[in-house]
Amino acid sequence: MQSTLIVKATKFITVFVLNIFSLSIALAHDFSITETTIFLDSSNTYKIDMLVDVDALALGVSPTSDSEQVVSILTALSLQDLEQAKQKARQTIQRRIRLRFDGTKYVPTITFPDHGTKFSVESELPTFLGLTARLSGEIPQFSKELTFGASRAFKVVNLTIIDKRVGKTVQQLLGVGEDSSPYDLQSRSLVGGEGTVVFRYILVGFEHILPKGLDHILFVLGLFLFSYHLRPLLWQITAFTLAHSITLALSIFGLFTLPSRPVEALIALSIVYVGIENMVTTELKPWRPMVVFVFGLLHGLGFAQVLRQVSMPKEHFLTALLTFNLGVEFGQITVLALAFLLFGWFREKSWYRRRVVLPGSVLICLIATYWCIERTFL
């Protein structure tokens, strides 16, 4: 009976990790964010720039579609058909955003300022209509509050409000499908505050592990597989947590940074090391927590790169940093809890290493080796 259960559990984890591998080619560190900036002008007008795949919206296809093929289709359209495609993009955006003044929804004018201009973006993907949707209009007279929201299609929204009337900037991270806290047009501040920041940045940290931090998941699973008892596992996780917290803070405060490409490659190499050590040694060495600590320093730099993509609220900077890190820990604990549910019952069995540790470590090692090659040479 136990043998049947372990076989089923091993198959489950194998399928899970293989799915991770299939996603990792495109999503090894995918953090889907819609950068959105609202400009409030002294002329009582607003302008909202959203970083979106306008080409995909115009053709009604997924943003993951072949960009070169999408561009070639748009390029071949007649002027009339192209205008219809642009109108389709406008209508899609209007359906997916919620702009309200004092609770009343307003429909902005939508243009695509990048179309027909040469511009530079940090993207290897070609584009025809550009990556900016500009929403504009007049601020209704006597309005007191402004809120902005987007449908789940835009995923996480990193919202920045630049009030040019008083030279003030506020920032807020919106969860999937959420509306912003009201922006008080009189006091020029967000209504809400620290409690909202705590919840949202815990969520961002958690999501960076589950489901988006595939490399971090494999690292934690690698530690779990070779720790037959709870105490040594806790020592390793504590060392990993302490280390990545140190470099996360140092990097965010600008005291220590490294280029993203070597950091990502070294993170993959750390996973390879853990997988190989699991296979070639039969017992935990006393120095392993120190090795894990060093690797944690690398992973902290990776976490910092993610957090930099999200503009930190200046009013609650430290709160956002601490709660993001807390969300990461919740994610790691969840990964360990799921692993315990699958394999915790069999860790004392004589066949645990042969049937679970070795196959799992080989799989982890192969995937991480691919990542290492991809991040170094491709």
pLDDT at 276 over 80: yes
Give the model's confidence band at 117: pLDDT under 50 very low, under 70 low, under 90 confident, else very high.
low
Q: What is the pLDDT of residues 346-358, one digit of tens each?
A: 888 889 999 999 9
Domain boundaries, the chain: 2-30+212-377, 33-194
In the three-class reduction of DSSP (H, G, I as helix; E, B as strand; rest coil), residue 311 is classed as coil
pLDDT exceeds cutoff 80 at 301: yes
SS3 at position 248: helix
| Distance from C-alpha of 377 to C-alpha of 268, rounded to nearest angstrom | 13
Average pLDDT over residues 176-194: 78
Quote the pLDDT of residue 128: 87
CB distance 75 to 129 below 8 Å = no
Mean pLDDT of 357-377: 93
d(CA 242, CA 311): 24
Percent of the chain having pLDDT more than 90? 47
| pLDDT single digits (tens) 149-162 | 999 888 889 899 99
Pair 161, 48: CB distance under 8 Å: no
Question: With 70 as the cut, is the pLDDT of residue 299 above it?
Answer: yes
Say whether pLDDT at 244 is over 60. Answer: yes
Mean model confidence pLDDT for the chain: 84
Which residue's structure tokens are 């280390």? Answer: 243
> Residue 116 — left, alpha, or beta (φ > 0 → left; ψ -120 to 50 → alpha)?
left
Average pLDDT over residues 22-49: 72
